[in-house]
Amino acid sequence: PLRVGVIYSIAPYMLPQVIPALHKHAPAMPLYLKEDFTANLIPALKAGELDVIVIALPFAEAGLVAQAVYEEPFRVVVPAQHPWSHRAAVEADELDGQNIRYMVASGAGVAVMPSTAADPLVDKEPMVKVLPFQGKQPSRTVGLVWRVTFPRPKAIDAVRAALLSCQLPGATAIR
């Protein structure tokens, strides 16, 4: 089996698409999946308990290889009744810590979420409004990390190909 670790903020949004895609790319390769925090996945990878992990980059450490797979912007998610709900976008500086504290304290909470989590809410959740950031979009790069000594490079290639074949909401493939 291929033992794959995925961080919590990626797994529920990526795995439902990537598992079937991976079975198409490598139908004979069974999967073992583990969701966890980056801080726990990295030691498990180094110890050989996992073969590859999917985490937010940048990441660099001796003996491990990191390869970017996609970039995803962050979105602002507000309640449908929030004063911002009719806006086209939000300036990043409007979300400084003090504003968020006041908004949450007043019951007008705001969340910043990656597009893979936020964009599906547009059609599924009428209680919230998903807004982009104005101007340059804050984003994260998601990638694969594996041991330099991992003896099955074709398995890594299959995971990468499966990820690239998925239509993750808002994400842009890095080829």
Average pLDDT over residues 10-17: 92
71, 174 contact by CB (below 8 A): yes
- CB-neighbour burial class of residue 23 (10 A; exposed 0-12, middle 13-18, buried 19+): middle
pLDDT at 174 over 90: yes
pLDDT digits (tens, 9 = 90+) for 141-165: 999 999 999 999 999 999 999 999 9
User: Which residues, 6 or more positions from 34, have their beta carbon under 8 angstroms from its beta carbon?
Assistant: 3, 4, 5, 6, 41, 44, 50
Residue 101 has pLDDT above 90, yes or no: no
Instruction: State the amino acid at position 157 in one-letter form.
Output: D
Model confidence at 108, pLDDT cuts 50, 70, 90, reads low
Looking at residue 159, its pLDDT comes to 95
Distances (CA, A) of 16 to 23, 128, 130: 12, 23, 22
Q: What is the pLDDT of residue 46?
A: 96
pLDDT grade, residue 99 (50/70/90)?
A: low
Of 11-20, 63-72, 92-101, least confident by mean pLDDT is 92-101
- Average model confidence (pLDDT) across the chain: 90
Q: 84: which 2 tokens?
A: 């911002």
Work out the angle at residue 15's Cα, subtended by the Cα atoms of residues 24 and 171, and round it to the nearest 5 degrees. 95
Whether the per-residue pLDDT at 106 is higher than 70: the answer is no
Which residue blocks in the chain are alpha helix, DSSP H?
11-25, 38-46, 97-105, 115-118, 121-124, 153-165
Per-residue pLDDT at 122: 84
Is the confidence at residue 136, as pLDDT, over 60?
A: yes
Mean pLDDT confidence for 116-133: 87
The model carries a pTM of: 0.88
DSSP alpha helices (H): ranges in 63-120? 97-105, 115-118
Residue 100 pLDDT class (50, 70, 90 cuts)? low
